[in-house]
Structure 1
Amino acid sequence: MENKIINFGAGPAKLPEEVLKEVQKNLIDYEGTGLSVMEMSHRSAGYFKINEDAMNDLRELVGVPSNYKILFMQGGGTGMFSAVCLNLMGRTGTADYLVTGSWSAKAAKEATQYGSVNLILPKVQKYTSVPRQSTWSLDPNASYVYYCDNETVDGVEFDFVPETKDVPLVCDMSSNFLSRPIDVSKFGVIFAGAQKNVGTAGITVVIVREDLLGKPMKITPSILDFTITEKNNSIYNTPPTFIVHVMSLVFKWIKRNGGLQGMYNNSLVKSKLIYDIIDKSNGFYACPVDKNVRSRMNVPFRIGCASGHEDLETEFLKLCESKHLIQLKGHRSVGGIRASLYNAMTIAETQILADLMESFFGNKKR
């Protein structure tokens, strides 16, 4: 592992090595067809099976109830910011948004183009916490309540599922989907971009309760219409066939490696390795996020003092790159360092980063 690149990037992110080897094996000739999946017609029996297998494996993996539909859509999480509004907001023309980080803030801004947006939480300069639900005032007439379960940029992850009674709950799970068991029945819509835990960039998984279908706004483009996508089995237009193939292999890899509970157990070990170094460094490393909502997937921290020290951070990043640990620079909007610990990141690889952090701190302390 000494000369191996370890990619801590927030996305497109590291893929399991087993999956990459399977992709490599079938890249030119997929299961004896003489075709690459990238060349395969999306109307062919071969691709139809790939599509069906991916949906069935996901349904089994997550425990998706029979009254929920699985969609594979394009446009990424950003496209879903509009799609959610176009498909759901028409009921009352208003929606509640819980803004706890950069991505939910962008989603709320996008939603203002389609209806009235109620910002449930007070605006803050920095996103470091999730106010308890007892402080919220939700609108019982809202078309839906929207939140982002894990904020990739800010490192804030919900430690509970909001209770919204009869109002559909919509959740952006792009950066922690398939990293822990979830009760799908608590949600109206779940969506997740593939490029974190699910596969490669270019496809978005949507899980939608069937009673929420069939009510899009008249202005909804066909490509963003949940109902049209479902009726066409996610092959309304030409899908990114290769990406769905990779995603299907990732689902099987997760099943072979303990399922969602296995991914969750690993995520706790990995994130604890890094947070323990931060907490024991007497402020040399500092994570601004409240401990109860620290992300298991994206660990942001500063070096040198609570507000960060750019010289030390630059030195640390150069050291990491010299050791083949890459993509650790924090998002441009918050700075600092960010270690993304998605499902494909192993405990052993995370330990290498933890050891380097400990060594760097020890050298500077002397």
Structure 2
Amino acid sequence: MKIHNFNAGPSILPKQVIERSAQSVISFNKSGLSVLEISHRSKYFTEIMEQTTELVKRIMNLNDDYSILFLQGGATLQFTMVPYNLMNQKSAYLDTGIWANNALKEAKKFGEVNILFSGKKNDYTYISENYKIPNEVDYFHCTSNNTIVGTQMKKFPKTSIPIVCDMSSDIFSRKLNFGQFSLIYASAQKNISSAGMTIVIVKKEILGKVKRNIPSYLDYMIHIKNDRILNTPNVFSIYTSMLTLEWIEKKGGLSILEKENEYKAQLLYDEIDKNNLFENKIHKKDRSNMNVTFFLKKKNLEKEFNKMWEKEKIVGLNGHRTLGGYRASIYNALSLESVRFLIHIMKEFEKKFS
């Protein structure tokens, strides 16, 4: 029986990527070595790094003004690295969810943080566009998609201030003008690769302007000067990223994926909206195409619903521990078939318990 994987991360990857990765664990490119045991200084890994870097730039339409780093520590480490490298005195943040809030808490350790909008009092159910970025801040930080609550920024501000964006849960899911961002970071375990690696895409001109000594590993410039291999990187995760990016290109790029993702999300939201037993609490204009959250209107039915979807080999549907309810993460690799199957289960549940 097919397993329908709605995990929020680590999450579903394309079948072809899993198969090629598995083969490479046994023998990488007929070398007789596993990809798990090749040296990060070898020609094998140099080729992986260069190919992955070129794929990122090509898919995002970025030029050589940007450096692509493959770091460890997850997006959580970037909450610290961003202000360490970019904030002299002030920064501006949007507080649109738990991870965005965690990011601004770290930034406060380095200087003044202007919170331009906070959705906390409204349980992060919407994202305001009515904010103004001050001219005197060193950078503006936003989170493009909020994995826990299920909101997504549909528009980004036009500003001369450097824009920093945490794209952990929707990177490579839609076409954007990526050149409008000065720094993008994204943990790999959602739309890119296996866990343990974070992509950082940084415009080199914004670096080297802070007046503090930065520890070597936390300094983007040091990583760039060391050919982006300051220490042993996560070889396997970078390799799997390369395979996933190749898969994206073969599909036709971000425009194709964006249409597919919008269609999958709309089907699921339509069912939630018309089903008598379920509800979504997010303002419609801010609904995420990656993480669809929903709740039972009658909590006493949770055991029955859980029993139904678990029996049918659906996994990862439970909501985040801080929120409860349900969350269907419908990343790039999740098939339309799986979305339709979940909708079928929801319809059957309504017939039985409405």
TM-score (norm 1): 0.94
Per-residue displacement from partner, 1:200-222 (whole Å, max 9, x unpaired)?
A: 11111111111112235534221
Consecutive unaligned residues of structure 1, counting only runs of 5 or more, are none
Task: List aligned pairs for 1:206-355, cutoff 5 A.
Answer: 206-216=200-210, 218-282=212-276, 284-304=277-297, 309-355=298-344
Tell me which amino acid in the other structure corresponds to 1:152.
T
Structure 2 CA distance, aligned partners of 1:269 and 1:217? 48
Alpha-carbon offset, residue 237 of structure 1: 0.4
CA contact (8 A) 1:145 1:169 kept: yes
Match of 2:107 in 1: 111
CA distance in 2, matches of 1:266, 1:32: 35
Q: Distance in 2 between matches of 1:109 and 1:315?
A: 39
Amino acid at match of 1:194: A
Q: CA deviation at 1:97?
A: 0.6
1:136-175 matched pairs, under 5 angstroms: 136-163=131-158, 165-175=159-169
Q: CA deviation at 1:325?
A: 0.2
**CA shift for structure 1 position 227:** 0.8
User: Matched residues in 2 for 1:312 and 1:111: separation?
Assistant: 42
Structure 1 segments of 4+ aligned residues over 6 angstroms from their partners = none
Distance in 2 of aligned mates of 1:257 and 1:329: 30
What residue is the counterpart of 2:35 in the other structure? 37
The aligned counterpart of 2:125 is 128
Distance 2:21 2:5 in 1: 19
How far 1:110 moved relative to its partner? Answer: 1.1
Q: 1:21-79 deviations in whole A, cap 9, x for unaligned? A: 11122211101111111101111111110111110111111111221111111111001
Tell me the amino acid that sits aligned with residue 116 of structure 1: E
Shift of 1:314: 2.9
* Offset of residue 120 of structure 1: 0.9
Matched position secondary structure for 1:339 = strand
Deviations 1:297-354 (A, max 9, x none): 00000012xxxx3332232122111100011000011110000000110111111111
SS in 2 for 1:30: coil
- Indicate if the aligned counterparts of 1:65 and 1:184 stay in contact, CA closer than 8 A: no
Q: Could you tell me the percent identity over the aligned residues? A: 38
Deviations 1:126-158 (A, max 9, x none): 0111112xx323221101111100000010101
Contact map agreement 1:70 1:207 (CA 8 A) in 2:
yes
Contact 1:86 1:219 survives alignment (8 Å) = no
Q: CA deviation at 1:273?
A: 1.5
Secondary structure at the counterpart of residue 29 of structure 2: helix
CA distance in 2, matches of 1:51, 1:206: 14
* Cα distance in structure 1, aligned partners of 2:12 and 2:280: 23
Give the aligned length. Answer: 353
Give yes or no for contact 1:254–1:260 (8 Å, CA) kept in 2.
yes
- Residue type of the partner of 1:65? N
CA shift in 2, pair 1:217/1:337, >3 Å: farther
Q: Aligned partner of 1:77: which letter?
A: A
User: What is the Cα-based RMSD across aligned positions, in Å?
Assistant: 1.3
Change (3 A) 1:217 1:246: farther
